């Protein structure tokens, strides 16, 4: 399978996004089919050279026999998508009797700052950039000498608001600070009800209990309306109720539907910034995007217009009273926090670090400081050193700031993460589950399970403490099929944040790669953790040799060139094999089950393959958000994947040869994202599957009071 190594490229003035299967032509994003992008990636790899029709057939259709006319039609379709239909062509040229050639000027798309800069003369751009740099340095200089002490405001634990079984999350204070709205799991703990805590009477009121799921409440700026997501098994709406009367009667208020939303993506916080402006996150272009709903302000509230804001791909966001936005995005192994002006989308500050992950990030009451979770609840200015506001005893799932008092409420509790192993077999009735086994006891949290090639051993990460926002006190355990219990093989230092585990082909050694591009080996017999690769900012294609005696990988040099390296287990040494090499990725001859998260094009390869394989079975609007929860597990004949259907997670199997898409069994109910990446792993023959799932989340709401 041929892939472009870049996620985005610019061809003349056309931006192509290989991840979202889109192209931006004349300012408008259009859909591009996966086969067209496979063709384009092949032309990019051979830029300036003529690519034959036979090469295109092999790269796009593989072993499927197609006619020569199929190639012509595909090229025509790609040209239409890129608006390259005029003669002479400006992007793809026909080379008579040979094939096709990419003739466009290829460059990187403009950055965020370049996108928001006005199109002016070069001199104006120069002075604009110079002025911007002067402004940034001046701001930093003034902030250095006149910085507000982040510890000037102190907090003290005040009270616990709830103590009911289950989960409380999506906290949000009313504009006057009297009420705290939140979502609370129902008695079965598989849906959420809408509840409100009245600080005046110290009473929790049930506002909506429909039997479906009401989540992520948000107040209108005047406090007269309460909007929220409502999920049922087949649809999602943003609804609202009137709350301009006694709280005891709110549960009787009629519901109004504002707009529809994607029922297959996880709910995120809404922000009703102004009477006519409601912001949220939607799944668009096969990725999360910031969306603005323009509302009417004449009496009855309704949506007048829906627009996407900028090119952001937020995991979380917040807006302060000055019109500045916090935008949290994941970029490679880093989580970047932008502060962006809502007025002109200019980026003011960017912080990149690995510590924010997918946890709550928001402004405090002043709008000049941020609150976030880095194992504990912390507060800091965007430039200053953080300090710990509250030492967490578990998972912190949600934050809210009282706009009247500055008090901080958060939902905190414990989560249970268990790992399971399935034994599977194929029958005329489909894929049968022969056996289900939990890998370890529920007293610990077990995640990131991986199977040996023969399926006889399982390795997984185990955490003793209830918080998973840091990997302190993490351990690696291995369970053999013939043994009842798992065995501890390594204690992990607190600075190791595991990214993935991988067995050697012979099953004797585990390879562990962490989020900081360091690689370790763990021999399952000697039970020693040995660092083998470090000092590189970027690695690619870390993989075992077929004889299990070497680890092969690529590393980027100080000259920004890729190099081929090998670590020899017998000699315990690394050796440089070649300089200035092409980025290694799986070729068409290599099976997808050899792909792992160390590959630079891992996400892109998954999206290309899944969209092509399953486009006849499942819409991408449902598939890709589900893939954000679980990465699929490949084996020789196909793949296992998890699909989110309403709040239910279900396990499926896709068989490559027969192109069958088979339902296997329901998994857990998707409750709350606690920042843990859920994974699956399969044996090479597909008869064994392991996966982790979040179960039994228990949280309570705690309030911290400003004391000075």
Percent of the chain at pLDDT > 90 equals: 31
Q: Which residue has the higher pLDDT, 520 or 283?
A: 520
The pLDDT of residue 124 is: 41
pLDDT digits (tens, 9 = 90+) for 522-566: 998 888 899 999 988 889 999 999 999 999 999 998 888 999 999
pLDDT at 288 over 80: yes
* 69, two tokens: 């006319």
pLDDT at 183 over 70: yes
DSSP state for residue 630 in the 8-state scheme: B
DSSP state for residue 320 in the 8-state scheme: -
The pLDDT of residue 516 is: 83
Q: Is 547 left (phi over 0), alpha (psi -120 to 50) or beta?
A: alpha
Residues 159-187, mean pLDDT to the nearest whole number: 87
Q: Which of 288-292, 358-362, 567-571 is the least confident region?
A: 358-362
The pLDDT of residue 352 is: 64
Which residues sit opposite 530 in a β-bridge?
521
Band (114; pLDDT cuts 50, 70, 90) = very low
The pLDDT of residue 142 is: 34
d(Cα 414, Cα 416) in Å, to the nearest integer?
Answer: 7
d(Cα 458, Cα 481) in Å, to the nearest integer?
Answer: 8
Which residues, in sequence order, are CB contacts of 706 under 8 Å at separation 6+?
A: 153, 154, 155, 405, 406, 407
Q: Which residue has the higher pLDDT, 170 or 148?
A: 170
The pLDDT of residue 112 is: 40
Q: Which of 130-144, 252-266, 382-396, 556-570 is the least confident region?
A: 130-144
| Of 584, 492, 514, 601, the residue nearest 543 (C-alpha) | 584
In order of their start, the domains of the chain are 8-109 (1.10.10.10), 114-141 (no CATH), 170-315 (2.120.10.30), 417-693 (2.120.10)
Q: Which residue has the higher pLDDT, 336 or 204?
A: 204
Q: Which residue has the higher pLDDT, 147 or 376?
A: 376
Answer whether 192's CB lies under 8 Å from 186's CB. yes
Q: Which residue has the higher pLDDT, 513 or 482?
A: 513
Residues 52-67, mean pLDDT to the nearest whole number: 78
The pLDDT of residue 384 is: 66
Answer whether 542's CB lies under 8 Å from 565's CB. no
The pLDDT of residue 136 is: 42
Q: How far is CA 387 from the centre of its chain?
A: 27
Which residues, in sequence order, are CB contacts of 166 under 8 Å at separation 6+?
A: 184, 185, 186, 189, 697, 698, 699
Q: Which residue has the higher pLDDT, 68 or 30?
A: 30
Residues 13-32, mean pLDDT to the nearest whole number: 80
Band (469; pLDDT cuts 50, 70, 90) = very low
Band (148; pLDDT cuts 50, 70, 90) = very low
- C-alpha distance from residue 42 to each of 16, 36, 49, 59, 388 (Å): 14, 10, 11, 7, 51
The pLDDT of residue 46 is: 85
Cα torsion at 123, 125, 127, 131 (round to 10°)? 180
- C-alpha distance from residue 488 to each of 234, 453, 477, 478, 518 (Å): 43, 20, 4, 7, 21
pLDDT at 306 over 60: yes
DSSP 173-197: E-TTSSEEEEEEE-TTSSSEEEEEE
Q: Which residue has the higher pLDDT, 690 or 117?
A: 690
Residues 464-489, mean pLDDT to the nearest whole number: 73
pLDDT at 2 over 70: no
The mean of the pLDDT values for the chain is 82
> Which is it for strands 474-480 and 487-492: parallel, antiparallel or unpaired?
antiparallel
Answer whether 352's CB lies under 8 Å from 329's CB. no
Which residues, in sequence order, are CB contacts of 441 under 8 Å at separation 6+?
A: none
pLDDT digits (tens, 9 = 90+) for 611-650: 788 877 887 777 777 887 888 999 998 999 998 876 778 9
Query: Which helix (DSSP H) or strand (DSSP E) does residue 623 occupy?
Result: helix 620-629
DSSP 79-110: HHHTT--SSSPSSEEEETTTEEEE-SPEEPPP
The pLDDT of residue 287 is: 78
Q: Which residue has the higher pLDDT, 454 or 6?
A: 454
> 3-class DSSP state for residue 15?
strand
d(Cα 595, Cα 597) in Å, to the nearest integer?
Answer: 7
Residues 211-234, mean pLDDT to the nearest whole number: 89
d(Cα 21, Cα 27) in Å, to the nearest integer?
Answer: 16
Band (332; pLDDT cuts 50, 70, 90) = low
The separation between the first and the last C-alpha atoms of the chain, rounded to the nearest angstrom, is 62
The pLDDT of residue 150 is: 43
**With the C-alpha atoms ordered 568, 572, 576, 581, is the resulting torsion angle positive or negative?**
positive
Q: Which of 93-97, 243-247, 360-364, 593-597 has the highest mean pLDDT?
A: 243-247
The pLDDT of residue 110 is: 63
The pLDDT of residue 145 is: 32
d(Cα 328, Cα 314) in Å, to the nearest integer?
Answer: 5
d(Cα 182, Cα 360) in Å, to the nearest integer?
Answer: 15
Band (518; pLDDT cuts 50, 70, 90) = very high
The pLDDT of residue 242 is: 92
Q: What residue ranges in 428-538 does DSSP mark as E strands?
A: 430-438, 445-451, 457-463, 474-480, 487-492, 498-503, 509-514, 519-523, 529-533
> Which is it for strands 633-635 and 509-514: parallel, antiparallel or unpaired?
unpaired
Answer whether 357's CB lies under 8 Å from 320's CB. no
**With the C-alpha atoms ordered 665, 666, 668, 672, is the resulting torsion angle positive or negative?**
positive
Band (265; pLDDT cuts 50, 70, 90) = confident
d(Cα 46, Cα 12) in Å, to the nearest integer?
Answer: 17
> How many Cβ atoms from other residues are within 10 Å of residue 450's Cβ?
24
Band (47; pLDDT cuts 50, 70, 90) = confident
**With the C-alpha atoms ordered 142, 145, 151, 153, is the resulting torsion angle positive or negative?**
negative
d(Cα 177, Cα 198) in Å, to the nearest integer?
Answer: 10
Residues 102-122, mean pLDDT to the nearest whole number: 57
Residues 220-234, mean pLDDT to the nearest whole number: 89
pLDDT at 116 over 60: no
Answer whether 214's CB lies under 8 Å from 208's CB. yes
Residues 248-267, mean pLDDT to the nearest whole number: 86
pLDDT at 5 over 70: no
The pLDDT of residue 359 is: 66
The pLDDT of residue 146 is: 33
Answer whether 463's CB lies under 8 Å from 692's CB. no
């Amino acid at each position: 399978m041929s892939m472009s190594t870049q996620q985005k490229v610019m061809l003349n003035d056309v931006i192509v996004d290989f991840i979202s299967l889109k192209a931006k032509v004349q300012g408008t994003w259009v859909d591009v089919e996966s086969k067209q992008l496979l063709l384009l990636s092949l032309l990019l790899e051979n830029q300036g050279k003529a690519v034959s029709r036979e090469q295109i057939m092999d790269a796009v259709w593989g072993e499927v026999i197609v006619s020569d006319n199929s190639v012509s039609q595909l090229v025509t379709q790609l040209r239409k998508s890129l608006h390259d239909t005029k003669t002479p062509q400006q992007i793809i040229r026909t080379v008579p009797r040979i094939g096709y050639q990419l003739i466009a000027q290829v460059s990187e798309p403009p950055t965020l700052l370049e996108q928001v800069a006005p199109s002016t003369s070069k001199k104006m751009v120069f002075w604009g950039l110079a002025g911007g740099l002067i402004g940034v340095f001046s701001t930093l200089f003034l902030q250095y000498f006149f910085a507000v002490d982040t510890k000037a405001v102190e907090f003290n634990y005040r009270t616990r608001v709830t103590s009911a079984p289950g989960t409380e999350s999506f906290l949000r204070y009313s504009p006057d600070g009297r009420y705290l709205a939140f979502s609370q799991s129902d008695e079965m703990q598989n849906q959420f009800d809408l509840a409100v805590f009245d600080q005046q009477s110290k009473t929790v009121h049930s506002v909506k209990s429909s039997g479906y799921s009401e989540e992520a409440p948000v107040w209108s700026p005047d406090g007269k309306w309460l909007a929220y997501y409502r999920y049922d098994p087949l649809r999602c709406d943003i609804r609202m109720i009137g709350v301009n009367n006694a709280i005891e009667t709110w549960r009787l208020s009629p519901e109004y539907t504002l707009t529809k939303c994607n029922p297959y993506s996880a709910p995120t916080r809404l922000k009703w910034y102004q009477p006519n402006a409601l912001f949220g996150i939607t799944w668009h272009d096969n990725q999360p995007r910031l969306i603005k709903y323009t509302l009417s302000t004449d009496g009855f509230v309704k949506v007048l217009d829906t627009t996407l804001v900028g090119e952001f791909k937020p995991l979380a966001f917040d807006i302060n009273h000055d019109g500045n936005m916090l935008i949290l995005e994941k970029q490679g192994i880093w989580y970047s926090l932008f502060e962006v002006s809502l007025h002109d989308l200019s980026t003011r500050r960017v912080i990149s670090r690995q510590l924010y992950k997918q946890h709550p990030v928001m402004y405090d009451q002043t709008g000049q400081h941020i609150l976030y979770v880095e194992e504990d609840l912390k507060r800091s200015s965007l430039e200053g050193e953080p300090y710990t506001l509250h030492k967490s005893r578990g998972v912190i799932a949600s934050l809210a700031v009282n706009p009247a008092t500055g008090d901080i409420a958060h939902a905190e509790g414990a989560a249970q993460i268990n790992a399971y192993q399935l034994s599977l077999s194929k029958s005329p009735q489909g894929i049968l589950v022969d056996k289900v086994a939990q890998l370890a006891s529920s007293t610990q949290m077990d995640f990131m399970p991986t199977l040996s090639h023969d399926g006889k051993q399982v390795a997984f990460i185990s955490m003793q403490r209830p918080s998973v926002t840091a990997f302190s006190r993490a351990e690696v355990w291995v369970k053999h099929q013939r043994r009842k219990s798992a065995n501890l093989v390594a204690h992990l230092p607190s600075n190791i944040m595991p990214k993935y585990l991988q067995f050697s082909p012979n099953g004797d050694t585990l390879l562990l790669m962490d989020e900081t591009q360091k690689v370790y080996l763990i021999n399952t017999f000697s039970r020693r953790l040995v660092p083998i690769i470090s000092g590189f900012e970027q690695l690619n294609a870390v993989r075992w040799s077929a004889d299990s005696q070497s680890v092969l990988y690529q590393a980027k040099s100080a000259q920004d060139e890729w190099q081929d390296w090998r670590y020899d287990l017998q000699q315990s040494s690394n050796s440089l094999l070649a300089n200035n090499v092409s980025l290694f990725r799986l070729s068409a001859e290599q099976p997808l089950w050899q792909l792992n998260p160390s590959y630079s094009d891992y996400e892109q390869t998954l999206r290309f393959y899944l969209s092509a394989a399953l486009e006849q079975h499942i819409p991408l609007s449902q598939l890709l958000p589900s893939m954000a929860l679980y990465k699929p597990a490949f084996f020789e004949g196909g793949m296992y994947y998890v699909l989110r259907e309403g709040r239910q997670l279900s396990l499926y199997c896709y068989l490559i040869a027969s192109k069958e898409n088979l339902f296997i069994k329901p998994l857990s109910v998707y409750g709350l994202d606690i920042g843990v990446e859920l994974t699956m792993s399969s044996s090479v023959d597909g008869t064994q599957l392991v996966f982790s799932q979040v179960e039994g989340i228990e949280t309570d709401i705690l309030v911290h009071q400003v004391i000075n």
